[in-house]
Amino acid sequence: MLGKKKLLVGGLSALVVGALLAGCPPKKELKTEVGTAEVAQKVYVPPGKYDEFYAFLSGGFSGQVSVYGLPSGRLIKIIKVFSQDPETGYGYTPETKPMLMTSHGFIPWDDTHHPELSQTDGVPDGRWLFINANNVPRIARIDLSTFETTEIIEIPNSAGNHASPFITPDSKYVTAATRFSVPIPQKDVPISSYAENFKGTLSFIKANEPGKMDVAFQILVPGYDYDLAHCGKGPSYGWCFFTSYNTEQAYTLLEINASKNDKDYIAAVNWKRAEECIAQGKYQEIPATYYHNYYDEKKHMAFSEVKKSVKVIIPKDCPGVMYYLPTPKSPHGVDVSPDGEYIIGGGKLATVIPIHSFSKMLKAIEQKAFEKEVDGIPVLKYDAVLHCEVPKPCLGPLHTEFDGKGFAYTSCFVSSEVVKYDYKQCKVVDRAPTYYSIGHLMIPGGDSAKPWGKYLLAMNKITKDRYLPTGPELFQSAQLYDITGEKMQLLLDFATIGEPHYAQGIPADIIMKNVKKIYPLAENEHPYAVKAEKDARVERKGNEVHVYMTMIRSHFVPDNIEGIKVGDTVYFHLTNLEQDWDIPHGFAVKGSEDAEILVMPGETKTLVWKPKAPGVYPFYCTDFCSALHQEMQGYVRVSPAGSNVPLKYYTGTSTAQK
Ligand code: CUA
């Protein structure tokens, strides 16, 4: 078969190739083997052959998710989530536009930060990936059998959805919290009335049923900046932890005004207790407008519903629902050890890494070891909850992951390094430089109950001299370390899309076995699908023309259409009749003001076109699908408005001739 040729390189040899392509200095003896097809053939290793991982990196300001193979560092997919994608038509087609609907209207872009894999018993299970939109607060679900976004829920009463979407070990909830406190509900007030009028919310979103995401409840909290979260597991199951900074409640020049307090807080939320309060009616139902969008895989189409209210818990009405743990200083990350006992804060201005103990926290709550209360929320005594402060770790500690062997790894932005320490003994055992200015780091499963502690991925904010220069804008840099030995070892650099803010990793075989290769044509319920060439047709309804068109190697049916008039809106509904893996066809028509569409085997998609002038317009397949790909083309004749050229369509002389 003359299909697309793909160079698949995985496993250990890919490491070498990856390192060379990334431009970081590889081991010397390998340097002669660069880049020839011969070498690439020699190093071909079938996927899944060695210990391989999928790594899902957020795209940051790209709004998408990029998927890499590890340890090769090769980009294998961009998943379309919150940004329109002209390559496939996502967010342009009438089928997918509803996915990007919000209470603010259609939003073509967002900022993704934290991918989070679904879990069963605290272990990533490979069913779904969740990811937040930071700017217009939303959470998306990506189905990992198709690598497509299938659901997006908007978060009401929120702004800057950063502490999101961190998951409970049973995937019951994902979290969302306000990085920016705002008036809740929104109203027109002076910004200087911050202390009086601005509040935060911590939200719990139902996540374990596809198509049924919903805001289960929100907790109304003091107007701080809620930054990151992680949920408890094992003994701390039932709790989630959120960092906060700006307990100073500054609203201008935060770099100074929000850096005054010696300690801010980690909020410990007992979501089991919250569920009790909801069941007992101890909440307020507050009007709020927000969208829930979901994709029907059989109809090949997205739908939106608008929700009108949300349940809000006021902490003083639900005693025991949350506590504050004082934490130095402007904490950023909060991470829970695999056994669920240790809660590590990343005080970005602190000189130590504070580690809280969950069992000490429970004891402190029982003994009411409170320092004070804020809006009905008890603040626990620092010494009563602290396990230890890791001394002299680094500068600017941010985020922590675990290797499952008793060690924690914290990223340090200011000193550009990863520090490895025994978190029970509170003793630093190793450190490795990163190039440069690391933000998050990721160990596959490293924030779960079962880390696969083989590799560590550093996601760096600054690239500088790591690649060939590409003008003022450089791709950001990810770096892979081997963490199987006592000392971390840098293996390779690779370039990333957008800002690789955070990532998740999972062994390849968990996902590979469930990956779909086609959409079954027999199950296609798209209202404009055609399942055989004989059913292809063109129908006029006033000024609307619907083209029911099929595509298969290497022709369209119909490929000649006449009788379209200026003033018409033409809907090309393309069904790809192929039922073979990796045979998409594309469709573009000259002068279309929309993106192309890329149609997967068995799928139907629509391109909307408003021709502006009489003439004959070519259309063609945009995806190199066969040896006769260049022959996969056709014409549309457009006549002046009011002309009486009859509607006519055909391919060749025998098929669909009318
Ligand atoms: Cu179909 Cu190229």
Q: Across residues 557-572, what is the average pLDDT?
A: 98
CA distance 243 to 268: 9
Determine if ligand 1 sits within 6 Å of the CB of residue 621: yes
Q: State the distance from the centre of ligand 1 to the C-alpha of 296, rounded, in angstroms.
A: 26
Q: Do 232 and 336 touch, CB atoms closer than 8 A?
A: yes
Q: State the distance from the centre of ligand 1 to the C-alpha of 658, rounded, in angstroms.
A: 25
Ligand 1 atom at minimal distance to the Cα of residue 584: 1
CA distance 412 to 455: 18
Q: State the distance from the centre of ligand 1 to the C-alpha of 301, rounded, in angstroms.
A: 23
Query: Tokens for 89?
Result: 């038509």
Ligand 1 atom at minimal distance to the Cα of residue 625: 2
Determine if ligand 1 sits within 6 Å of the CB of residue 458: no
Query: What percent of the chain shows pLDDT beyond 90?
Result: 90
Q: Three-class SS of residue 203?
A: strand
φ, ψ dihedrals at 489, nearest 5°: -125, 125
The pLDDT, as a whole number, for residue 348 is: 84
Q: Across residues 268-288, what is the average pLDDT?
A: 98
Ligand 1 atom at minimal distance to the Cα of residue 586: 1
Q: State the distance from the centre of ligand 1 to the C-alpha of 559, rounded, in angstroms.
A: 13
Determine if ligand 1 sits within 6 Å of the CB of residue 555: no
Task: Encode pLDDT of 219-251 as tens digits.
Answer: 999 999 999 999 999 999 999 999 999 999 999
Query: Tokens for 400?
Result: 């922590």
Determine if ligand 1 sits within 6 Å of the CB of residue 585: yes
Rounded to 10 degrees, the C-alpha dihedral 31/485/50/71 comes to: -50
Q: Is the pTM of this model over 0.85?
A: yes
Q: State the distance from the centre of ligand 1 to the C-alpha of 651, rounded, in angstroms.
A: 16
DSSP β-ladder status, 214-222 and 198-206:
antiparallel
Determine if ligand 1 sits within 6 Å of the CB of residue 622: no
Whether 69 shows a pLDDT value over 60: the answer reads yes
Ligand 1 atom at minimal distance to the Cα of residue 630: 2
Determine if ligand 1 sits within 6 Å of the CB of residue 356: no
Determine if ligand 1 sits within 6 Å of the CB of residue 629: yes
Strand (E) or helix (H) holding 290: strand 284-296
Q: State the distance from the centre of ligand 1 to the C-alpha of 62, rounded, in angstroms.
A: 28
Owner of token pair 């009790």:
276
Q: State the distance from the centre of ligand 1 to the C-alpha of 524, rounded, in angstroms.
A: 21
Q: Across residues 181-199, what is the average pLDDT?
A: 97
Q: Across residues 329-345, what is the average pLDDT?
A: 96
Query: Tokens for 506?
Result: 């999972």
Strand (E) or helix (H) holding 509: helix 508-512
Q: State the distance from the centre of ligand 1 to the C-alpha of 548, rounded, in angstroms.
A: 17
Task: Encode pLDDT of 343-360 as tens digits.
Answer: 999 988 888 999 999 999
The pLDDT, as a whole number, for residue 24 is: 40
Ligand 1 atom at minimal distance to the Cα of residue 585: 1
Closest CA relative to residue 180, chosen from 231, 134, 111, 112: 134
The pLDDT, as a whole number, for residue 36 is: 53
Q: State the distance from the centre of ligand 1 to the C-alpha of 589, rounded, in angstroms.
A: 14
Owner of token pair 């009905």:
376
Q: Do 397 and 278 touch, CB atoms closer than 8 A?
A: no
Determine if ligand 1 sits within 6 Å of the CB of residue 536: no
Q: State the distance from the centre of ligand 1 to the C-alpha of 175, rounded, in angstroms.
A: 43
The pLDDT, as a whole number, for residue 7 is: 36
Determine if ligand 1 sits within 6 Å of the CB of residue 624: yes
The pLDDT, as a whole number, for residue 655 is: 47
Query: Tokens for 503?
Result: 């990532």
Q: State the distance from the centre of ligand 1 to the C-alpha of 87, rounded, in angstroms.
A: 15
Whether 293 shows a pLDDT value over 90: the answer reads yes
Strand (E) or helix (H) holding 654: none
Q: Across residues 330-353, what is the average pLDDT?
A: 94
Query: Tokens for 454?
Result: 């083989």
Q: How confident is the model at residue 583 (pLDDT cuts 50, 70, 90)?
A: very high
Cα distances (angstroms) measured from residue 296 to each of 301, 363, 385, 478: 5, 48, 47, 35
Could you say which DSSP state residue 646 is in?
P
The pLDDT, as a whole number, for residue 347 is: 84
Q: Where are the strands (E) in 423-559, listed by range?
A: 427-433, 438-442, 455-460, 476-482, 489-496, 503-507, 537-541, 544-552, 555-557
Tallying the residues shown for the chain, one arrives at 658
Q: Side-chain half-sphere of 655: how many Cα atoms within 13 Å?
A: 16
Whether 40 shows a pLDDT value over 70: the answer reads no
Q: How confident is the model at residue 51 (pLDDT cuts 50, 70, 90)?
A: confident
Ligand 1 atom at minimal distance to the Cα of residue 553: 1
Q: State the distance from the centre of ligand 1 to the C-alpha of 587, rounded, in angstroms.
A: 8
The pLDDT, as a whole number, for residue 39 is: 54
Chain-centre distance for alpha carbon 564? 42
Ligand 1 atom at minimal distance to the Cα of residue 626: 2
Closest CA relative to residue 355, chosen from 394, 325, 312, 311: 325
CA distance 389 to 394: 12
Q: State the distance from the centre of ligand 1 to the C-alpha of 211, rounded, in angstroms.
A: 33
Chain-centre distance for alpha carbon 623? 26
Owner of token pair 């994709």:
295
Q: Do 80 and 149 touch, CB atoms closer than 8 A?
A: yes
The pLDDT, as a whole number, for residue 506 is: 97
Q: Do 436 and 516 touch, CB atoms closer than 8 A?
A: no
Cα distances (angstroms) measured from residue 608 to each of 93, 487, 544, 571: 7, 57, 10, 5
CA distance 297 to 595: 21
Query: Tokens for 423?
Result: 């978190």
Q: Three-class SS of residue 281?
A: coil
Q: Three-class SS of residue 372?
A: strand
CA angle 237, 239, 243 (to 5 degrees): 135
Whether 369 shows a pLDDT value over 60: the answer reads yes
Q: State the distance from the centre of ligand 1 to the C-alpha of 26, rounded, in angstroms.
A: 39
Q: How confident is the model at residue 399 (pLDDT cuts 50, 70, 90)?
A: very high
Whether 176 shows a pLDDT value over 90: the answer reads yes
Strand (E) or helix (H) holding 13: helix 11-22
Determine if ligand 1 sits within 6 Å of the CB of residue 623: yes
Ligand 1 atom at minimal distance to the Cα of residue 583: 1
Query: Tokens for 176?
Result: 């969302």
Core vs surface per residue 419-448: b (16+ CB within 10 A) or e: bbbebbebebeebbebbebbbbbbbbbbbb
DSSP β-ladder status, 489-496 and 476-482:
antiparallel
More confident residue, 185 or 6: 185
Return the bridge partners of 102, or none: 105
Cα distances (angstroms) measured from residue 208 to each of 123, 198, 298: 14, 32, 20
Closest CA relative to residue 14, chosen from 62, 98, 64, 71: 71
Determine if ligand 1 sits within 6 Å of the CB of residue 625: yes
Closest CA relative to residue 598, chosen from 608, 588, 611: 588
Closest CA relative to residue 239, chosen from 372, 400, 132, 361: 361
Whether 9 shows a pLDDT value over 80: the answer reads no
CA angle 469, 474, 475 (to 5 degrees): 120
The pLDDT, as a whole number, for residue 82 is: 98
Task: Encode pLDDT of 442-491 as tens digits.
Answer: 999 999 999 999 999 999 999 999 999 999 999 999 999 999 999 999 99
Q: How confident is the model at residue 21 (pLDDT cuts 50, 70, 90)?
A: very low
The pLDDT, as a whole number, for residue 49 is: 52
Q: State the distance from the centre of ligand 1 to the C-alpha of 575, rounded, in angstroms.
A: 13
Ligand 1 atom at minimal distance to the Cα of residue 554: 1
Q: How confident is the model at residue 27 (pLDDT cuts 50, 70, 90)?
A: very low
CA distance 253 to 589: 51
Task: Encode pLDDT of 298-309 as tens digits.
Answer: 999 999 999 999
Query: What percent of the chain shows pLDDT beyond 70?
Result: 91
Q: Do 352 and 409 touch, CB atoms closer than 8 A?
A: no
Q: Do 545 and 570 touch, CB atoms closer than 8 A?
A: yes
Q: What is the mean pLDDT of the chain?
A: 92
CA distance 275 to 279: 6
